[in-house]
């Protein structure tokens, strides 16, 4: 069963990579040359997938004001990775469990004590992070720790790529099938409640999706920088549109574009890949911040200058 | 209006309900029935537990003691059956959300969409069954917002926002309308329109329950007034409730300790 699954996964990945290479082939030699290497082809596919999943989820994170929660879950994943390593489990199982447990812990602290949510999150994630750093310090090298913290997309192997692909498919299907409850819960939880939706299921479902996304992005951008990928694309798209579906498309586009450009730059100029990806994403955000039609700073300044003139005429 | 139609169960029964936020009591031994098919105004000072009552009905909050019934049944199953529509206070809604006026009103139909064909349910809401869009149109027309259907909700004025929230509640076609401060921060024209729409709902047999600070509209439109300040101060027709003595008693009820006798009207 497992073997069959793995063969299928490999075949799918190889097909996707072959498809990508056709697209890459269209570009001039200077741009496409790096992708002659097999590791760059894997890195490209991973980047695109991670950019897309993070972009999609980032809409919910931004609109639901869950940035800090995303930060918390991503840090909380670290001890899960370490413990899974100790027990010989696949790292993503440990990471997923740790993320989910800490999200539940935050919810419990917030609901049953007088601790407010930001303090509950800060407390949980620094604890989990510290635990992870201590365990990893005992069992692995600093390079290992650095890769988990900051990602190493150039070293992505098949198993990680399969996990990313699987997470991507799950996240996409979940958002597709549960679009209405997810959107309504994000927009107006009371209304969701009044309409008879089970909001706790939606709440924890969304948290699990977030955790899955973080785990899937672990090897690409790393624990620390995944938060940027969960905030920046959504924030960029929010500046550009007043429609949710458009926002999702723009956000996915921003995520993919920053991941691919970042990967290319990191290869060409020998930069840390996670950092390069996030810097490109931030650059795109800055462009949107300045030039967005309605909410852009330049447009606003221009309208303010024009404003008095048009009203008096 | 003739009142010959039998109402087997009250719209909302509240049985000896206690509720608290972080140990601070907000509802103490509230025991009252809100009649079905009538318009009830709930009046009381800030922090009197008016919204808390709604939160309990919506299942956002649990009563410490006591229980509530909606048309004789458990509120959770009634919510799933689409019996209650809720119009939130303006501050409770994320107006920055990238959504248009008509799509906002369409969210009021999400409960009804459970009954749609499976292939429609996996399509984006925009391609839902046309009958939902027909209802959305009707409701937007009722609140005079059809011209603004495609605008983002963030671009609306205060009165327009309220009217969109009302249209969304109407779109649920629920038998009970719960309205939290429907007139707060609203211009006179919108206020009149909102009250007339609600009056129409009430005439067609729906139950209207509104929390309000506005005595004037309560006097004019409501069938019953519930005076609430942590406890029930009085429940009856507006002429009996909205008099200086009762209102003064309502204002004072929050300061009194729990053992003083309450007046039943």
d(Cα B48, Cα A130) in Å, to the nearest integer? 45
Q: Is residue A313 part of a domain?
A: no
Q: Is residue B239 part of a domain?
A: yes
What number is the average pLDDT over the span A160-171? 90
pLDDT in the model for residue B256 = 52
Greater confidence, B256 or A270? Answer: A270
The one-character DSSP state at A116 is -
Q: Is residue B232 part of a domain?
A: yes
Q: B100–A194: do the CB atoms touch at under 8 Å?
A: no
Q: B84–A246: do the CB atoms touch at under 8 Å?
A: no
Q: Please give the share of chain B, as a percent, with pLDDT higher than 90.
A: 59
Q: Is residue B125 part of a domain?
A: no
Greater confidence, A136 or B264? Answer: A136
Q: For residue A186, give both structure tokens.
A: 């994000």
Reduce the DSSP state of residue B214 to 3 states and report it: coil
Q: What is the pLDDT of residues B163-203, one digit of tens each?
A: 999 999 999 999 999 999 998 888 888 899 999 999 999 99
d(Cα B191, Cα B212) in Å, to the nearest integer? 12
pLDDT in the model for residue A151 = 83
Instruction: Pick B85's closest partner by Cβ from A183, A189, A194.
Output: A194
Provide, as residue numbers in chain B, all residues whose Cβ is less than 8 Å from the Cβ of A187: 93-94, 97, 99, 107
What's the pLDDT band for A32 if we cut at 50, 70, 90? confident
pLDDT in the model for residue A182 = 94
> Are A65 and A273 within 8 A, CB to CB?
no
pLDDT in the model for residue B105 = 95
CA dihedral over A186, A190, A194, A198, signed as positive or negative: positive
Q: B86–A190: do the CB atoms touch at under 8 Å?
A: yes
Task: Give the end-to-end CA distance of chain B in Å, rounded to a whole number.
Answer: 23
Q: A243–B122: do the CB atoms touch at under 8 Å?
A: no
In angstroms, how far apart are the furthest CA atoms of chain B?
Answer: 60
CATH of the domain at B225: 3.40.50.300
Provide, as residue numbers in chain A, all residues whose Cβ is less than 8 Å from the Cβ of B96: 238
Q: Is residue B146 part of a domain?
A: no
pLDDT in the model for residue B89 = 87
Q: B100–A114: do the CB atoms touch at under 8 Å?
A: no
Mutation site, B51, B58, B168, interface A, largest A CB count within 10 A = B58
Provide, as residue numbers in chain A, all residues whose Cβ is less than 8 Å from the Cβ of B76: 196
Instruction: Pick A193's closest partner by Cβ from B59, B82, B172.
Output: B59
pLDDT above 80 for A140 = no
Provide, as residue numbers in chain A, all residues whose Cβ is less than 8 Å from the Cβ of B128: none
Q: Is residue A302 part of a domain?
A: no
What is the span of the domain harbouring residue A73?
38-290
pLDDT above 70 for A268 = yes
Pairing state of beta strands B12-21 and B207-212? unpaired
What is the number of domains present in chain A? 1
pLDDT above 60 for B260 = no
Q: B124–A179: do the CB atoms touch at under 8 Å?
A: yes
The one-character DSSP state at B172 is T
pLDDT above 50 for A305 = yes
Q: Is residue A300 part of a domain?
A: no
Chain mean pLDDT for chain A = 88
What is the number of domains present in chain B? 1
pLDDT above 80 for B130 = yes
Q: What is the pLDDT of residues A199-237, one digit of tens each?
A: 889 998 999 899 999 888 887 788 888 999 999 999 999
What's the pLDDT band for B162 if we cut at 50, 70, 90? very high
Give the distance, in angstroms, between the CA of residue B96 and the centroid of all CA atoms in the same chain.
Answer: 23
Nearest residue in chain B measured CA to CA from A234: B98
Q: Is residue B215 part of a domain?
A: yes
The one-character DSSP state at B225 is E
pLDDT in the model for residue A152 = 83
pLDDT in the model for residue B253 = 75
pLDDT in the model for residue B214 = 87
Q: Is residue B136 part of a domain?
A: no
Q: What is the pLDDT of residues A36-70, one digit of tens each?
A: 899 999 999 999 999 999 999 999 999 999 998 99
Chain mean pLDDT for chain B = 87
Long-range contacts of range B184-192, CB-CB < 8 Å, 24 or more positions apart? Answer: B184/B89, B184/B90, B184/B213, B185/B90, B185/B158, B186/B158, B186/B159, B186/B162, B187/B157, B187/B158, B187/B159, B189/B159, B190/B159, B190/B160, B190/B162, B190/B163, B191/B159, B191/B217
Q: Is residue B250 part of a domain?
A: yes
Q: Is residue A17 part of a domain?
A: no
Provide, as residue numbers in chain A, all residues whose Cβ is less than 8 Å from the Cβ of B22: 114
Q: Is residue B50 part of a domain?
A: yes
Least confident of A22-36, A223-237, A280-294, B98-112: A22-36
B176: which strand partners? B84, B207
CATH of the domain at A126: 1.10.3470.10
Reduce the DSSP state of residue A242 to 3 states and report it: coil
What is the span of the domain harbouring residue B249?
1-83+176-185+206-254
Greater confidence, A158 or A3? Answer: A158
> Are A148 and A223 within 8 A, CB to CB?
yes
């Amino acid at each position: 069963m497992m073997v069959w699954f793995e063969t299928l996964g490999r075949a799918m990945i190889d097909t996707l990579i072959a498809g990508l290479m056709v697209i890459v082939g269209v570009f001039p030699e200077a741009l496409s040359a790096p992708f002659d290497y097999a590791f760059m082809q894997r890195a490209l596919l991973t980047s695109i997938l991670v950019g897309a999943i993070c972009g999609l989820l980032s809409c919910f994170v931004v609109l639901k004001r869950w940035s800090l929660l995303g930060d918390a879950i991503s840090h909380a994943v670290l001890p899960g990775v370490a413990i899974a390593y100790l027990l010989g489990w696949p790292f993503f199982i440990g990471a997923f469990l740790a993320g989910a447990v800490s999200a539940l812990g935050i919810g419990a602290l917030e609901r049953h004590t007088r601790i407010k949510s930001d303090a509950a999150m800060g407390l949980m994630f620094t604890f989990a992070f510290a635990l992870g750093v201590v365990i990893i310090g005992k069992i692995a090298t600093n390079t290992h720790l650095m890769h988990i913290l900051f990602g190493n997309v150039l070293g992505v192997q098949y198993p990680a790529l399969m996990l990313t692909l699987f997470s991507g498919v799950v996240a996409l299907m979940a958002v597709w099938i549960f679009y209405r409850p997810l959107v309504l819960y994000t927009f107006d939880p009371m209304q969701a409640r009044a309409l008879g939706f089970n909001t706790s299921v939606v709440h924890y479902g969304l948290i699990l999706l977030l955790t899955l996304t973080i785990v899937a992005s672990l090897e690409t951008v790393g624990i620390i920088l995944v938060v940027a990928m969960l905030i920046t694309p959504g924030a960029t798209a929010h500046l550009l549109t007043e429609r949710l579906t458009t926002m999702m498309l723009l956000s996915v586009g921003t995520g993919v574009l920053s991941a691919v450009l970042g990967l290319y730059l990191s290869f060409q100029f020998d930069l840390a890949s996670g950092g390069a990806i996030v810097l490109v994403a931030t650059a795109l955000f800055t462009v949107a911040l300045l030039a967005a039609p309605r909410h852009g700073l330049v447009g606003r300044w221009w309208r303010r200058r024009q404003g008095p003139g048009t009203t008096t005429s | 209006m003739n009142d010959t139609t039998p109402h087997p169960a009250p719209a909302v029964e509240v049985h000896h309900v206690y509720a608290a936020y972080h140990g601070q009591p907000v509802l103490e031994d509230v025991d009252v029935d809100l009649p079905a098919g009538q318009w009830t105004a709930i009046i009381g000072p800030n922090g009197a537990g008016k919204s808390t009552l709604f939160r309990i009905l919506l299942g956002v909050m649990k009563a410490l003691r006591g229980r509530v019934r909606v048309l004789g049944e458990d509120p959770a199953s009634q919510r799933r059956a689409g019996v209650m529509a809720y119009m939130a206070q303006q501050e409770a809604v994320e107006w920055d959300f990238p959504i248009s006026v008509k799509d906002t009103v369409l969210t009021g139909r999400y409960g009804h969409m459970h009954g749609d064909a499976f292939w429609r349910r996996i399509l984006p809401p925009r391609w839902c069954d046309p009958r939902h869009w027909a209802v959305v149109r009707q409701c937007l027309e009722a609140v005079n917002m059809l011209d603004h259907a495609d605008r983002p909700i963030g671009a609306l004025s205060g009165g327009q926002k309220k009217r969109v929230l009302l249209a969304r509640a109407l779109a649920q076609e629920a038998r009970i309308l719960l309205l939290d401060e429907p007139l707060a921060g609203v211009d006179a024209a919108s206020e009149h329109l909102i009250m007339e729409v609600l009056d129409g709902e009430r005439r067609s047999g729906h139950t209207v329950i509104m929390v309000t600070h506005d005595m004037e509209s309560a006097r004019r439109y409501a069938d019953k007034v519930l005076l609430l300040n942590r406890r029930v101060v009085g429940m009856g027709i507006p002429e009996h409730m909205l008099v200086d003595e009762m209102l003064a008693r309502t204002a004072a009820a929050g300061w009194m300790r729990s053992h003083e006798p309450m007046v039943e009207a």
